[in-house]
Amino acid sequence: MKMIIDTDPGVDDAIAIALAHALPEIDLIGLTTVFGNTRVDQSSRNARFLLDMLGADAPVSEGAAKPWNDYPFEPSAWVHGPEGLGDLAEVPQIGANHALPAAEFLVEMARQHKGELVVCAIAPLTNIADALKLDPGFAENLGKLVIMGGNLHCPGNITPQAEANIYHDPAAADAVFASGLNTVMVGLDVTLQTLLTPADFTALAAASEKTGGFIQRISEFYLKFYKEVADLDGCPMHDAAAVLACSHPQFFGCEKTGLRVICDGEEVGNTVADASRPTVSIATKIDARASLDLMQSHIAALP
């Protein structure tokens, strides 16, 4: 499976990227970066650093620095740390970004791999919406879009109504859901069922000194946030669940409906069913144990 991950690393993004690299079903051909958990320049730096650490040979293409319509944005430093990777105070600058900006890179890769490319978007959807605006054929060329974001039958995680990735650029997300892209939404309805505990991270570090040890280190900040804010003894696997929805769709049960995003007012960022829109597959069930076990076993096998 040819895959591009659209990302804003982010602790859970780092886990998802490591998982995609580890899975034999996935050929990771690039990362596109966007604002979200961090500023876009931090996202790109973190993405290049993570690929280098993993020994993964893939380009990083930098994308949108801000949401559509000048929607207000603030990096999620209180969740992921000041540089996006937990308590790391400095992340080294390694290599350089791809010459093409993210929207152009996505359009070009979708043309080259027409009908085969899967984009796993685990960040605000600005780059995806920009690619649709740049090339009307993008929706037809792309094989599938799998989104970590949204919520249909449960509350949000940044406001009572909204999930964070959708909330950070509601207009772009609404444009994506209106586009007719072959889309799967892996949102809070399932990701909140996939809790990684401190013991899980300890086991990863014991099995994989370099990669697992790094993930354990950056997870400490993330775990502390979930304990203090939600009184959870673990953190959801959010972004890695979207990667698994690409490679192991049998782990998920989906409903099909159109979606729109509320773009103003008290419910801004809410994803709501809209039968007049193109159909989206929305994950509402997950085999959480199988998902967690597969993620841990594959990352544990990395150096």
The DSSP output letter for 192 is T
**Sign, Cα dihedral of 4, 9, 10, 12:** positive
113 flagged as catalytic: no
- Choose, from 6, 8, 13, 130, the residue flagged as catalytic: 8
Threshold 0.95, pTM exceeds: yes
pLDDT at 37: 97
Structure tokens at 266: 């008290």
pLDDT at 91: 97
- Choose, from 113, 168, 238, 298, the residue flagged as catalytic: 238
- Residue 193 CA from chain centroid, whole number: 17
Rounded to an integer, what distance in angstroms lies between the CA atom of residue 265 and that of residue 262? 8
Contact between residue 252 and residue 270 where contact means Cβ atoms under 8 Å apart: no
Q: pLDDT digits over 111-137, tens only?
A: 999 999 999 999 999 999 999 999 999
Q: pLDDT digits over 217-262, tens only?
A: 999 999 999 999 999 999 999 999 999 999 999 999 999 999 999 9
Q: pLDDT digits over 131-189, tens only?
A: 999 999 999 999 999 999 999 999 999 999 999 999 999 999 999 999 999 999 999 99
8 flagged as catalytic: yes
